[in-house]
Amino acid sequence: MEFRIQIDDDVPDYLILDETRFRQVLINLLGNAFKFTDQGKVELRVSSSLLQSRERELVISVEDNGIGIPEDQQEKIFEEFEQQKGQDPNQYGGTGLGLAITKKIVETMGGNITVSSTKSVGSTFKIVLKDVQIPLASDAVERSEVLFDPNSVTFEKATVLMAEDIPLNRELIKTYLNYPELQILEAENGEICIQIAKQKNPDLILMDMKMPVMDGFTASKQLKLDPDLNTIPIIVITASSLKEDKEIITQSCEGYLRKPVSREELVQEMTKYLPCSIESASEQPVNESEKEPSFSSKNFNKETMTKLQELMKILEKNILPQWERRDALSINNTQSLAEQAMQLGSSFHYLPLQQWGEQLNTSIEMFDIENVEKQMDGFSFIVTQLKEILLSNAS
């Protein structure tokens, strides 16, 4: 089978789009085209036309020589859980959700999707995105040039209050924020957070949302109602991805970060609210030891260390043997490994493992094979780090 890609010369080198959603749409459409075509070709075509000086209409079409879709079913296939009648589930599989999700994504991006098809001849899916902006030349830079380096930041003296109920998560955040100028205070729930805020008047609060006794929503509201504390900026760190939660949070809090949060994301967000200086890349000394933060187990209680020892045994028995055969794993087996890591990381409250699994799973879903390989290589650091924690505690 032949795969053709045709991108017209008038398509700009750079466009402002939601890269993640756009990639998902292409993967869904191309995946279907290959799945339903036994022989012939699949062709991806991209063209654009100028609407205004910095806006384009972008047209993407995916054409195949597959089984085709009867005319009376062409609108129904965009509905949830709808598939072509007579389609063999054993041969083609699927849930009937792919095109429904694709349609919603395209409409969210301000576009529309249509299909033209002839049974036993093939199908063409066409997406039209209107008012797609062309970035200015100064905006069109490689991502590698704008990546944020937390080691480039020097904070002025400041006190940061962290509200988080899981000890291991607090330890991770403290590791991220290992700056001599920052004093890190800890609260196990929202009620304690308010008490410490009244006593210490911190310069910044990092607030988890789900905590016992008093959650982050309630604590944030009370802090903003207190005339002595309402000017303290609050950065929410939450596992919730619900749009409604984000809207509620951003109404009363200054910053919003989704778990698992990286050191780069956290420090970059904090620079918006704390006085600091940021060195340019050329001014920074390279320190290899600072590339990956390491844990200290000094403040871990006995129960936490027992759970980490149990986690280590599970990793050595079940996960490490799979990882050591990583070059022979299929993409499905690799995704299963990522899901196991996420589940273990969540069950044992070990955020580095959960975060590794989530990042690996995301790379797999995005078909970013190069990043999958990099993520897989990074698992050795997770294991080494955990061993260091256990060894440090034993000594």
pLDDT category at 377 given cuts 50, 70, 90 is confident
Residue 67: how many other CB atoms lie within 10 Å: 19
Fold of 2-133: Heat Shock Protein 90 (3.30.565)
Range list for CATH 3.40.50.2300 in the chain: 145-284
Stretch 215-227: mean pLDDT, rounded?
Answer: 92
Q: How far is CA 52 from CA 15, 55, 60, in A?
A: 14, 5, 19
pTM above 0.95, yes or no: no
Q: How far is residue 59's CA from residue 45's CA, in Å, rounded to a whole number?
A: 8
If one compares 191 and 50, the residue with the highest pLDDT of the two is 191
Q: What is the pLDDT of residue 196?
A: 97
Rounded to the nearest angstrom, the gap between the alpha carbon of residue 100 and the centroid of all alpha carbons in its chain is: 22
Q: How far is residue 64's CA from residue 66's CA, in Å, rounded to a whole number?
A: 5
On whether the CB atoms of residues 160 and 206 are closer than 8 A, the answer is yes
Right CATH number for 302-394 from 1.10.10.10, 3.40.50.300, 1.20.120.160, 2.40.50.840?
Answer: 1.20.120.160
Q: How far is residue 207's CA from residue 197's CA, in Å, rounded to a whole number?
A: 12
Q: What is the pLDDT of residue 19?
A: 76
Q: What is the pLDDT of residue 176?
A: 86
Stretch 32-54: mean pLDDT, rounded?
Answer: 85
If one compares 287 and 13, the residue with the highest pLDDT of the two is 13
* pLDDT of residue 130 exceeding 90: no
Q: What is the pLDDT of residue 60?
A: 95
Q: Which of 20-24, 58-62, 116-120 shows the lowest mean pLDDT across its residues?
A: 20-24
Q: Which of 70-84, 133-147, 350-364 shows the lowest mean pLDDT across its residues?
A: 133-147
Model confidence over 356-365: pLDDT tens digits? 888 888 777 7
Q: What is the pLDDT of residue 222?
A: 93
Place of tokens 């905590």: 211
Largest CA distance in the chain: 74
* pLDDT of residue 81 exceeding 50: no
Q: How far is CA 346 from CA 48, 99, 163, 382, in A?
A: 45, 32, 19, 15
pLDDT category at 147 given cuts 50, 70, 90 is low
* pLDDT of residue 239 exceeding 80: no
Model confidence over 292-315: pLDDT tens digits? 444 554 556 777 788 888 999 999
Place of tokens 């296939």: 77
Stretch 141-151: mean pLDDT, rounded?
Answer: 60
Q: How far is residue 366's CA from residue 359's CA, in Å, rounded to a whole number?
A: 11
Place of tokens 């000890």: 167
If one compares 90 and 327, the residue with the highest pLDDT of the two is 327
Range list for CATH 1.20.120.160 in the chain: 302-394
Range list for CATH 3.30.565.10 in the chain: 2-133
Fold of 145-284: Rossmann fold (3.40.50)
Residues linked to residue 60 through DSSP beta bridges, in sequence order: 46, 127
Q: What is the pLDDT of residue 7?
A: 93
Q: What is the pLDDT of residue 232?
A: 94
pLDDT category at 136 given cuts 50, 70, 90 is low
If one compares 191 and 75, the residue with the highest pLDDT of the two is 191
The pLDDT > 70 percentage for the chain reads: 81
The pLDDT > 90 percentage for the chain reads: 28
